[in-house]
Copies of this chain bind each other. A is one copy, B any other.
Amino acid sequence: MPFMQRIRIKDVAKEAGVALSTAALALRDDTKLREETRRLVRDAAARLGYVYDRSAAVMRSGKSHTIGLLVCEITNPFYAELTAGVEEALDEAGFVVMLANTSESITRQRRMLERFREQPVDGVLIMPATGTPPSLLEDLEQWRVPHATVVRGFRRGAHTGPDNRAGTRMATEHLLALGHRRIAFLGGLTRNSVSRERWDGYFRAMTKAGLAPEQLCCRTDIGEAAGVAEALPADGPTALVCFNDSVAFGATLGLLRSGRMPGRDVAVIGFDDIREAAAWFPALTTVRVSPREIGRAAARVLLERIADPAAAPRREILAPTLVVRESCGAHLRWKG
């Protein structure tokens, strides 16, 4: 194969027999040009195998059509699904995502943010690592980097996330309606806004019903949750409001392991409704927040922010729904 000279706009212009500026406009499908001219140029570009070079355009225009996505833990199915939603919506808008998985490290988060700033990206979408100081927002503002938080957030700034309080409140009230009185909250060892809000929704529902809240601490980990559930005494809580579906999965596994049937012996409700929840045994009753939709909404919020940085930051709180399946015991398939 002969050495191929890289094809540039000026080559396309020559091939099409138009001026360089005309070719440049035509390649971006500018309506200032007649459709016929645009087609002429497009055809010439295709004949020559022209490849648009974004790096030059980025430098000249300052717009990269790239956004930086900081994910706190991509191996968590909830965040993986959310990432898919972000990527999907940004792609539709002609944007591309630079991914960084911080693995809950604020050092790594900081470093990746600086890297994004150099890149440069047009904006950043952040699922803050646990322990992120709110001063992060001040830095981003000073840097003039358009930004928005997702799921985990701060008191201010553009944000998209589920209504966590409403979610655990609904879950708790459902269990109360089923007659449970000793209902514990399982999880929440990690200190972030999501943990606080989910605990808070449960707490309020319990105190409103005149009952004592009770927290069973565990990290967000199937194995750890299974351990706590397995060790649950027979005269312990009869129902568990779990921090999320992973914790709920762990709880059901632990109960099974100790010879108890989730839903019949101890009711279990999750949070998130990740893909596996419906197929679980027993099928998991959970609070649906649709990570993919949150991701898509977050992408829109950030794009708005980029388009109009002067506007007040939007905060979009999505309402959750309770999906009643088997693990809460409301209708046991195997009860017979």
Q: Which of A77, A115, A252, A279 is packed against the most chain B CB atoms within 10 Å?
A: A279
Q: Report the stretch among A97-105, A164-172, A174-182, A236-244 that lies at the interface.
A: A97-105
A169-199 contacts to B (CB < 8 Å)? none
Q: How far is it, in angstroms, between the C-alpha of A97 and the C-alpha of B74 when the chains are bound?
A: 14
Residues 250-273 of A, flagged 1 when their CB comes within 8 A of B and 0 if not, give 101110110000000000000000
Which chain B residue has the least Cβ–Cβ distance from A277?
Answer: B222
A58-B55, A253-B280, A281-B256 as given contacts; A75 in contact with B84, CB under 8 Å: yes
Residue A213 is within 8 A (CB to CB) of chain B in the complex:
no
Residue A91 is within 8 A (CB to CB) of chain B in the complex:
yes
A55-B119, A250-B279 as given contacts; A98 in contact with B97, CB under 8 Å: yes
Q: Report the stretch among A30-38, A46-54, A127-135, A146-154 that lies at the interface.
A: A46-54
Main secondary structure of the interface of A (DSSP, over half): helix
Is the beta-carbon distance between B56 and A83 smaller than 8 angstroms? no
A85-142 contacts to B (CB < 8 Å)? 87-88, 91, 96-101, 103, 108, 112, 115, 117-120
Is the beta-carbon distance between A75 and B64 smaller than 8 angstroms? no
- Contact partners of A221 in chain B: CB under 8 A: 279
Residue A323 is within 8 A (CB to CB) of chain B in the complex:
no
